[in-house]
Structure 1
Amino acid sequence: MKFINPKILMTSSALFLGVLGLTVSFFPQEILAHFNEEAEPFSLLFTKFSGLFLMSFAILNWMARGNIIGGIYSRPVALGNVMQFFFGASLLIELLMTEASGNLGLWGITIGYSLFGLAFLIIMFGNPIPKKGAT
């Protein structure tokens, strides 16, 4: 199995989630309008909370980027990211297959979520320390 550098994975996922979270938090009305949803108080609040959730994971990943991750090391961080990305990708794929297949931005987010989900799954069940000569 190819070694995945946890520091690069954690940093890139933190940046991905941070940009996504800031966008969702600061532009909830525009995002709701893009998906033809009403910008009512509850939907705005829920959208802002979703952005907060994304930024919280971004901070978690940024702060843990120097930790050993994989196997038994930092397992809660790895499992949280697997849940976030793997199941998030599943929900996004379902949305793309039913309603929003022409939305290129959503395709990009779905591809990002899918790749991060797979990478964190590999890290969680893999050996955190590469064998000699592995790159």
Structure 2
Amino acid sequence: MEYLNVESNVITTLFLNILSALYLGFAIMNWMARGTLIGGIYNKPIAIGNLLQFGVGAIALIKIVSGIQIHPEIIISLTVVYMILAILFAYIFVTNPAKIKKQKSYW
């Protein structure tokens, strides 16, 4: 909590625990869908969920990046990562996945 410059109390601890549960839920959802094509009809909710999470995160980070005074390099690099992931999930959301044709195996 000292790193965030926030007083440690029950509310901030609860907020960080709920935020951790949110990220863990997204991680498990993405892990369970790892073998499927994201996009298309069946996995649109996974694509839109990730797009929303990274898009809103990128917008929030862009809003504070100019006024940050403590560790700006961390915030700027996190902003770039969130922007790239938001753009990639937006691309996945608006395009349809193409199945790769399997080559004939002689074995």
TM range (shorter): 0.7 to 0.9
Shift of 1:102: 4.1
Are 1:36 and 2:12 counterparts?
no
> Higher helix share goes to which structure?
1
**Secondary structure of the corresponding residue to residue 34 of structure 1:** coil
Counterpart in the other structure of 1:84: 53
Q: How far apart are the structure 1 equivalents of 2:56 and 2:70? A: 19
Q: How far apart are the structure 2 equivalents of 1:101 and 1:122? A: 33
Unaligned runs of 5+ in 2: 102-107
Shift of 1:96: 1.3
Match of 1:51 among 11, 20, 28: 20
Identity %: 35
Shift of 1:43: 0.9
Q: How far apart are the structure 2 equivalents of 1:99 and 1:42? A: 24
* CA deviation string 1:23-52 (max 9, x = no partner): xxxxxx3xxx22311112101110121111
Q: How far apart are the structure 2 equivalents of 1:124 and 1:34? A: 36
Call closer, same or farther: CA 1:51–1:100 in 2, change over 3 Å: farther
Match of 2:90 among 93, 103, 121: 121
Length-normalised TM-score, structure 1: 0.66
Shift of 1:78: 0.5
Computing the radius of gyration over CA atoms, which structure comes out larger, 1 or 2?
2
8 Å contact from structure 1 (residues 81, 120) kept in 2: yes
Segments ≥4 residues shifted beyond 6 Å:
none
CA RMSD of aligned residues (A): 2.0
Match of 1:71 among 40, 43, 47: 40
Unaligned runs of 5+ in 1: 1-28
* CA deviation string 1:88-134 (max 9, x = no partner): 111111121233474322222222211111111000101211688xx
**Secondary structure of the corresponding residue to residue 73 of structure 1:** coil
Are 1:93 and 2:62 counterparts?
yes
8 Å contact from structure 1 (residues 70, 123) kept in 2: yes
Match for 1:54: what amino acid? Y
Match for 1:109: what amino acid? L
Length-normalised TM-score, structure 2: 0.81
